[in-house]
Structure formats: C-alpha cells, structure tokens
Chain A
Amino acid sequence: QVQLQESGPGVVKPSETLSLTCGVSGGSVSRYYWNWIRQSPGKGLEWIGCISQSGSTKYNPSLKSRVTISVDRSKNQFSLNLSSVTAADTAVYYCARDWGYDSNGFGGWFDPWGQGTRVTVSS
C-alpha cells in the first residue's frame, strides 16, 4: 500500500525558507492529489496546500504568498517550500494523499498520512 515519509531539517532560522520533501512508496505521484498539513498547539490542524497529478496547485490563502508545492516525478516525491518563516511556523508538518475528490479536486479525503516531521523555527 502507499506509504509517505517526510524529510527535512528539524530547525530553520527565522526569515529563512523551510523546505520539506515527502517521499511516496507503493504508489505514483502521477496519480491523486498530494497535500501538506501542519499541526501546532496554538492552531490545531492547518491545511497548507496541495498539488494535483497534473501539477496544478491549491494553497491556503493565509499562506499563499509564502508557499510553493512542487512534484518531482523522477524521484516519486513532492515538496513544500515555506519562505520567510517565523516562530509561528513551528509545527509538526505532515504530508498526505488526497483521493475520492471530484473533477475539480474537492470532496476528497486524506489517506494515508506520513508520520510527520517536527520543525522548529529558532535562531
């Protein structure tokens, strides 16, 4: 079955760019939508954005100016870049597959999820 694994630095300095990768095994990134979600004590679960099998993206408007999600089909993985980070971006970051959606990418559900990676923004 499909398994996801997040990777990236555990500490990022303020004002720098947070970069994470989600490796996909047991399936292809050329199918489905792929999501990034984060969880912090202060804000709960927050959807960051997603990328479709065709490479189109949807972002949370609250983060849109700082977020880029991309896919690397040769490595079967997708990535998150979040620029100009502050302490408010400290969280556990998850990747997840989205499926069951309609033709516009809505109405789906997230399964499976990666185990999550903790990112702390600190100098």
Chain B
Amino acid sequence: DIQMTQSPSSLSASVGDRVTITCRASQSIIKYLNWYQQKPGKAPNLLIYGASGLHSGVPSRFSGSGSGTDFTLTISSLQPEDFATYYCQQTDNIPFTFGPGTTVEIK
C-alpha cells in the first residue's frame, strides 16, 4: 500500500494567516493527489484534485502544488469557515489511501 503522511497533524492559526499543509507519499503518485476538507459530523468535501486543480466553487485562497511524492495545500488567508480537518488522498494505486489528517484550529 502507498502510505500517506501529513504534517503537521494539527496547527493553531489566526484569521488572515497563511497556512501550509504538507502531504508525502511513500512512493511516486505522479499528480494523483486530492485534498479534502472535513468539518465535524460532516462528510469530506473535495477542495483540490490532481494536485493543483481547484474544484468548482472552492474559494481561490485554496491552492495545491507538488508532484511525485511531495505535495502542499496552501490557504493564503485563513477565514473563519476554514477551521476544519484536511486530508490528502492518492488515487494512483489500489488501495486508494488517505493521509491521517491535519486539524486547523483557531489560535
């Protein structure tokens, strides 16, 4: 299985801060990397597909980059509705696997 790791596991930030979350795959996944946002009690929602594609309706303050094994999700200016848990996912190989998540909390 391809193992996905994320760092940090959690972070505290203020509204307006720039936030960067890193995701690393245990082997190359080319650009088959997606990012999801999940709020408590809700299903995950797609933010970024194919490492850098912004899903329809997602604010432009979210961006993704990377290829191979190293990827990042950046929130350029954190908003109150962005406090949530973020997961990366690879769909390059079976089984599709998710990272353990990064929780963004209010400072």
Q: Which residues of A contact B (CB under 8 A)?
A: 44-47, 58, 60-62, 94, 96, 98, 100-101, 106-116
CA distance A115 to B87 in the complex (A): 17
With A107-B50, A111-B46 as known contacts, state yes or no: A44 contacts B98, CB within 8 Å: yes
Q: Which residues on B sit within 8 Å (CB–CB) of A96?
A: 43
With A44-B100, A106-B32 as known contacts, state yes or no: A114 contacts B46, CB within 8 Å: no
Number of A-B residue pairs at CB separation under 8 A: 62
Classify the interface of chain B: helix, strand, loop or mixed: loop
Q: Which residues on A sit within 8 Å (CB–CB) of B32?
A: 106-107
Q: Which residues on A sit within 8 Å (CB–CB) of B16?
A: none
CB distance from A111 to the nearest CB of B (A): 4
Top 5 nearest A-B pairs (CB, nearest first) are A113-B43, A109-B49, A45-B98, A60-B95, A111-B46
Other-chain contact of B50, A45, A47, A109 (Cβ < 8 Å): A109
CB distance from A47 to the nearest CB of B (A): 4
Other-chain contact of B92, A94, A106, A115 (Cβ < 8 Å): A106
Q: Is the CB of B89 within 8 A of A110?
A: yes
Q: Which residues on A sit within 8 Å (CB–CB) of B100?
A: 44
CA distance A96 to B91 in the complex (A): 14
With A44-B100, A106-B32 as known contacts, state yes or no: A113 contacts B94, CB within 8 Å: no
Among A58, A101, A111, chain B packs the most CB atoms within 10 A around the CB of A111
CB distance from A62 to the nearest CB of B (A): 7
**What 0/1 readout, one digit per residue, does chain B (64-100) give for beta carbons within 8 Å of chain A?**
0000000000000000000000010101111111101
CB distance from A7 to the nearest CB of B (A): 15
Other-chain contact of B94, A61, A108, A109, A112 (Cβ < 8 Å): A61
B96 to chain A: closest residue by CB: A47
Q: Is the CB of B46 within 8 A of A109?
A: yes
CB distance from A36 to the nearest CB of B (A): 11
CA distance A46 to B4 in the complex (A): 12
10 more A-B contacts (CB under 8 A) besides A47-B98, A111-B46?
Answer: A44-B98, A45-B98, A47-B95, A47-B97, A61-B94, A106-B32, A110-B44, A111-B55, A113-B45, A114-B43
